[in-house]
Amino acid sequence: MNVFDITDLNLWYGKFQALQNINMSASEAEITALIGPSGCGKSTLLKTLNRMNDLVPGCRVTGSVCLSGMDIYGNLNVNDLRKRVGMVFQKPNPFPMSVYDNIAFGPRTHGVKSRYALDEAVENSLKAAAIWDEVKDRLRKSALGLSGGQQQRLCIARALAVKPEVLLLDEPTSALDPISTGKIEELLLELKNDYSIIIVTHNMQQATRISDQTAFFLLGEMIEYDSTEKIFSMPQDKRTEDYVTGRFG
């Protein structure tokens, strides 16, 4: 089953065309990596999938993006879309409130009121994001007191708390040290059993370590999309080969 089907997607920021004729799909319970040099459009594509691009003035989209068969630019409510498609940002962005309130924000937004249900959601999400043991004694303290790596796992937990189907991650480890990065990669491998994951990464080793499928982007075009193994061992396109062997980018 495909979670996302993208057909003839074009995107403009004002007059600048950031994405050109993208056709791809992402499968359920897999990790799909989007790689490419800076400015190639991979983050833009990611933000198209939960319509965060709506916030950019002058952004225009044509083509279709379907989530489990439903066009997300059609009559799907954008808040419902974002509930189903969670996102973790490049820079950890926990809210300036307690660990508990950070996680509970999503469920509360979607109408969960009972104390018991919230407690349970908080505990389950923190456990799923492998950070429960580190924060269980400080749930009522500010989330800003955590380390960068802990903050990022907290953000993953926060995204999981609304029970999304897909998790989008925009270079989630680029601001973190190698140990925190390792923990997050381990976590993603575990999460892919329950969630479909699409990750933008600058780090090609990271793509080979964790992803099942890899798409290579260059100047707003998708050059090649195949299993990660193929992309890195026998790429079909010369430009992909140049990039994955480190000749540019």
Residues that bind another protein (CB under 8 A): 50, 52, 55, 79-83, 86-87, 89, 91, 93-97, 105-106, 109-110, 155, 158-159, 162
Q: List the beta bridge partners of residue 12.
A: 17, 60
Rounded least distance, CB 245 to another protein, Å: 35
- What is the chain's alpha carbon radius of gyration, rounded to the nearest angstrom? 18
Rounded least distance, CB 15 to another protein, Å: 21
Closest to another protein by CB, 109 vs 205, is 109
Both structure tokens of 74: 């059609």
- Using an 8 Å Cβ cutoff, are 236 and 224 in contact? yes
Closest to another protein by CB, 170 vs 185, is 170
Residue for token pair 């999309």: 225
Q: List the beta bridge partners of residue 31.
A: 197
Rounded least distance, CB 81 to another protein, Å: 8
Closest to another protein by CB, 110 vs 247, is 110
Rounded least distance, CB 105 to another protein, Å: 6
- State how far the alpha carbon of 78 is from the alpha carbons of 51, 74, 200, in Å: 7, 10, 22
Rounded least distance, CB 96 to another protein, Å: 5
Both structure tokens of 100: 């508990």
Closest to another protein by CB, 151 vs 214, is 151
Closest to another protein by CB, 9 vs 52, is 52
* CA-closest candidate to residue 103, choices 68, 145, 69, 151: 151
